[in-house]
Copies of this chain bind each other. A is one copy, B any other.
Amino acid sequence: MGSPERIREVARRVARFAGEGHQLVVVPSAMAGETNRLLALAREIHPEPTARELDVIASTGEQVSIGLLALALQQLGVRARSYTGWQVPILTDASFGKARILAIEERNIREDLEAGFVVIVAGFQGIDDDRNITTLGRGGSDTTGVALAAALKADECQIYTDVDGVYTADPRIVPDARRLDTITFEEMLEAASLGSKVLQIRSVEFAGKYQVKMRVLSSFTDVSSTDMGTLITFEEDENMEQAIISNVAHNRDEAKITVLGVPDRPGIAFSILGPIAEANIDVDMIIQNASTEGMTDFSFTVHRNEYQRAMKILESKVKSQINAKGVVGDDRIAKVSIVGIGMRTHAGIAAKMFEALAKEGINIQMISTSEIKTSVVVDEKYMELAVRVLHRVFELEKPPIQEKMKP
């Protein structure tokens, strides 16, 4: 919600749904820029603010939004009532700044819904066992929405974002990228973890765990629009003609590090990654080459922001300890991935990907696969090209057959 005018638009949309007889729980985010403003204020006071107090401050952004949205609905004649996280309450663990929802006491909300209220719940926040305010971390409002949908056994959890759905690739890179009517939960989870910014991965995980139907919609389309965005579905079987590949994902948030000439013996991976984990640095891809003459190279990727810190740890603590030949790194890489549950049942998909990239002269630096995705690391400068090539080769611009046959 960007501004008072945007809040009024959200209210009109909610009012329309309410007028159609739906029981609605709405989870607004903070107003645009508000969370950043609050965090900057905190950092102005304390360069490394303590997490508990930071959450006390940051949670006010959503608290203002619920009050304003309730007022906007009341202005339209809709009965509405706001709830902060602690008023619901939404119970979380005590991990300030990245808390996980443990339970939602939904009784009061249910009573309000039965009484005809639209219920507005502050996203991104909860309380721990000691009544401390917690926040769920960035994108936490989506997670709150999914968790509430699960607790209330809602028909659907609609996520309004700045895009109008999930696409076969980023339309800024692939002009003929196609919006998907549906995507399976597993594909969405992979896409989110591979760089799709549409949904926060934790909200998708939550939806998966509790089988919540999510729908991604644009908050910028006309209020009266009947556009249905992209549904994230659990019913794979209904889509017999599901495309093999659902989408091409990309990100350039990672950096690659290789430890050269490592003795190939048990425990070597832990010797390298243990100190990295201790420093709270998340590792994504991990690759160990087959050894030659008892020596191997060990590569992994970290977030680009952690690249310098990870290099330092390896150079100062790890290298001499494991007697490695050297440590090299590269923070100008990109990860490009194809995602699709069809990969489970169709052979040769990865090979087709590698062939397409090779034809364009794009060198593959690392490969990582799972049951429904294949990712490659390439030089950053080839990223857009790789995405376009893969989108074309897998014909993602064309709808799957059963969709084509719709009137």
* A interface list, Cβ under 8 A from B: 4, 7-8, 38, 41-42, 44-46, 49-50, 52-54, 56-57, 59-60, 63-64, 66-68, 70-72, 74-75, 81-82, 84, 86-87, 131-133
Interface centre among A4, A60, A131 (most CB of B within 10 A): A60
Complex alpha-carbon distance, A139 and B388, angstroms: 62
Contacts of A52 in B (CB 8 A): 81-82
Say yes or no: A72 contacts B45, CB within 8 Å: yes
Contacts of A46 in B (CB 8 A): 71-72, 74-75
Complex alpha-carbon distance, A60 and B68, angstroms: 12
Given contacts A54-B67, A70-B53, contact A4 B44 (CB under 8 A): yes
A to B CB contacts below 8 Å, 11 in the list: A4-B41, A38-B64, A42-B68, A45-B72, A46-B72, A50-B70, A50-B74, A54-B67, A57-B63, A60-B64, A87-B133
Given contacts A74-B53, A75-B46, contact A68 B41 (CB under 8 A): yes
Contacts of A72 in B (CB 8 A): 45-46
Contacts of A75 in B (CB 8 A): 45-46
Say yes or no: A42 contacts B57, CB within 8 Å: no
Interface centre among A45, A52, A82 (most CB of B within 10 A): A45
Number of copies: 2
List the 3 closest A-B pairs by CB distance, nearest first: A57-B67, A60-B60, A56-B67
Cβ distance A40 to chain B, nearest Cβ, rounded Å: 10
Say yes or no: A133 contacts B84, CB within 8 Å: yes
Say yes or no: B53 contacts A71, CB within 8 Å: yes
Contacts of A56 in B (CB 8 A): 63, 66-67, 70, 82, 84
Contacts of A44 in B (CB 8 A): 4
Given contacts A57-B63, A63-B63, contact A71 B84 (CB under 8 A): no
Task: Tell me which of B7, B49, B63, B71 contacts A60 (CB under 8 A).
Answer: B63
Task: Tell me which of B45, B59, B66, B81 contacts A8 (CB under 8 A).
Answer: B45
Complex alpha-carbon distance, A54 and B49, angstroms: 29
Cβ distance A46 to chain B, nearest Cβ, rounded Å: 4
Contacts of A8 in B (CB 8 A): 45
Complex alpha-carbon distance, A86 and B89, angstroms: 13
Complex alpha-carbon distance, A67 and B38, angstroms: 10
Taking A45-B71, A54-B67, A86-B86 as known contacts, 7 extra A-B pairs with beta carbons closer than 8 A to each other, sorted by chain A number, are: A42-B71, A45-B75, A50-B74, A57-B64, A60-B63, A84-B133, A87-B133
Contacts of A68 in B (CB 8 A): 41-42, 45, 53, 57
Closest to A72 in B: B45
Cβ distance A208 to chain B, nearest Cβ, rounded Å: 32
